[in-house]
A and B are shown apart, each in its own frame.
Chain A
Amino acid sequence: MVRLEHVDAGYPGEVVLRDVSFEVNRGEVFALLGGSGCGKSTVMKHMIGLNPVLAGDLTVAGERWTAKTRAALCRRIGVMYQSGALFGSMTCLENVLLPLEEFSGLKRRAREEKARSLLADVELLDAAEKMPSEISGGMRKRIAIARAMALDPEVVFLDEPSAGLDPITSSALDDLVLRLRRERAMTFVVVTHELPSIFKIADRCAMFDKARRGMIALGTPTALRDGSEDEFVRRFFNRGES
């Protein structure tokens, strides 16, 4: 579904991670892990086409991000940003309606029905007419997930879904991801460093290290925790203890 081959990640004139290679399979929840500032969000920005890769090859659903493929690829992915990134001048319902209005080709009534069913999926139908400023951070993220799913994307990217949330809300969000994966057979790529979340939702994960400027581990969370010989990986999974 998403494939990176020998990718150098970063910004023009600044390589953050070198030679990153992994593949995200269809229907799996794949986590990008690492300490703060290690470059996991940078890798995600390449995956969602915000920044071009510095070197190597990156494909999403078999396509590279180019000016030609961009419009079609954007409709095949959904993104939830760390803050939710809901549009403050629109109600929650209008936020979910926006991609449907622009791209779905559905009639007005059908669009609204679909948007309401998406809000029901994330259990926030009651918040449909509220403005993003009137709801909590966790609710904003769930609305953002509903918006990300509006065009039935093949892969959904979640940037730090647990950041800034209490453990109960964070766990509820994880449950939501698992339910959506189960019901809609979607692929999820999740940027996170929350251990409970990683063990709960991730099938596999890739780990990055700032000091070594690269990917240092790839595998299931349990395999990395129990079997890795890398000091940094062990410490990460043991909350700083070797």
Chain B
Amino acid sequence: MKLFTSIGRGWMDGLLAFHDSLAVLGETVCETLALPLRPGRFRGRDFLVAFQRAAFDGLPICTGIGFLLGLILAFESAAALRTFGVESYVADLLAIGLFRELGPLVTAIVLAGRSGSAFAAEIGTMKVDEELDALSTMGLPPVRFLVLPRTLAATFAMPILTIFVELAGLVGGAIVLKMMDIPGAVYWGNVVRTADTFMITFGLAKAAFFGMLVGFVGCCAGMRTRTTADGVGVAATSAVVGGIVSVAVSDGVIAVVCHFWGV
């Protein structure tokens, strides 16, 4: 009996969370659409603070991870490709892998861990301290104050971080190929030939979309924080898990759709 009760509760909690997220999504969309009409109402300073923390403070870790990613990818693939004497194709593999897929995906995972959890913890703490109630009773929608600036900050931060991950990854790959006596000119020439403008733009657009997802999921988790001792911790965890899952699922959907559209 207990098992059925807990399964039922789990489902109900999940449905309620989905319902709440939809409500926040609706409000966020309305506020975003209203932004050009009333730009003065946008909390620009909150956006800049969130943007600085998400983008600039995240640059060192993203660059480091990108560099290691490129290094490992190049090392592992070069070993296999060398068997066929085509190790110069590592550049093609890296360019396609980083610009189209791994760059945005890995950056989104890092952003979920750094900023998604931070958004959830910030908003969750505000909820526990009754600051969200204070906003509501002042007639100020918490979505406009808290969700919109952070979601937009994550959306704009992601392409910047992704560019750094991709460039650092290419540098990592270059170092490996240099060690394998492949001339730098050949490597960079292959990268430029493979990575066309569409591929780069597509990857960055996907990055912005992932940023929006991570930011929104983090903020939603914060808004749903329970006022218990472990409430903020649970919210931060669910922001990271929810952010990564939503990015992975949407990346899969985008990959399938692109395959059928021949993109």
Which chain A residues have a beta carbon within 8 Å of chain B's beta carbons? 48-50, 70-71, 74-75, 77, 79, 81-83, 85-89, 98-99, 102-103
B5 within 8 A of A: no
B132 (CB) vs chain A CBs: closest residue? A85
Which chain B residues have a beta carbon within 8 Å of chain A's beta carbons? 41, 46, 49, 126, 129-131, 133-134, 136-140
Which of B46, B133, B140 is within 8 Å of A81, CB to CB? B133
Q: How far is the CB of A122 from chain B (nearest CB, A)?
A: 17
Which of B49, B133, B138, B139 is within 8 Å of A89, CB to CB? B49
Interchain CB contact under 8 A, B138 and A98: yes
Chain A residue contacts of B129, Cβ below 8 A: 83, 85, 88
Query: In the complex, A99→B139 CA distance in Å?
Result: 9
Query: Would you call the interface of chain A mostly helix, strand, loop, or mixed?
Result: loop
In the assembled complex, 29 residue pairs joining A and B whose CB atoms fall closer than 8 Å, in A order, are A48-B137, A49-B136, A49-B137, A50-B133, A70-B139, A71-B139, A74-B136, A74-B137, A74-B138, A79-B137, A79-B138, A81-B130, A81-B134, A83-B130, A85-B129, A85-B130, A85-B131, A85-B134, A86-B131, A87-B126, A87-B131, A87-B134, A88-B129, A89-B49, A98-B138, A102-B41, A102-B139, A102-B140, A103-B139
Chain B residue contacts of A99, Cβ below 8 A: 138, 140
Query: In the complex, A103→B140 CA distance in Å?
Result: 10
Chain B residue contacts of A98, Cβ below 8 A: 138, 140
B46 (CB) vs chain A CBs: closest residue? A89
Contacts A89-B46, A89-B49 given; does A75 touch B133 at CB 8 Å: no
Query: In the complex, A89→B49 CA distance in Å?
Result: 10
Query: In the complex, A36→B9 CA distance in Å?
Result: 29
Chain B residue contacts of A88, Cβ below 8 A: 126, 129, 131
Chain A residue contacts of B46, Cβ below 8 A: 89
Q: How far is the CB of A58 from chain B (nearest CB, A)?
A: 15
Query: In the complex, A12→B134 CA distance in Å?
Result: 22
Interchain CB contact under 8 A, A77 and B137: yes
Chain B residue contacts of A89, Cβ below 8 A: 46, 49
Chain A residue contacts of B140, Cβ below 8 A: 98-99, 102
Query: In the complex, A81→B140 CA distance in Å?
Result: 16
Interchain CB contact under 8 A, A85 and B133: yes
Which of B49, B131, B134, B139 is within 8 Å of A75, CB to CB? B139
Chain A residue contacts of B139, Cβ below 8 A: 70-71, 74-75, 102-103
Given A70-B139, A79-B133, 4 extra CB contacts under 8 A: A81-B133, A83-B129, A88-B131, A89-B46
Chain B residue contacts of A49, Cβ below 8 A: 136-137
Query: In the complex, A85→B129 CA distance in Å?
Result: 6
Chain B residue contacts of A75, Cβ below 8 A: 139
Query: In the complex, A74→B134 CA distance in Å?
Result: 11
Q: How far is the CB of A70 from chain B (nearest CB, A)?
A: 7
Closest 8 CB pairs of A and B: A74-B139, A85-B134, A85-B130, A81-B130, A79-B137, A85-B131, A48-B137, A99-B138
Chain B residue contacts of A85, Cβ below 8 A: 129-131, 133-134
B40 (CB) vs chain A CBs: closest residue? A101
Chain B residue contacts of A86, Cβ below 8 A: 131
Chain B residue contacts of A48, Cβ below 8 A: 137
A157 (CB) vs chain B CBs: closest residue? B137
Query: In the complex, A48→B137 CA distance in Å?
Result: 7
Chain B residue contacts of A70, Cβ below 8 A: 139
Chain A residue contacts of B131, Cβ below 8 A: 85-88
Q: How far is the CB of B82 from chain A (nearest CB, A)?
A: 54
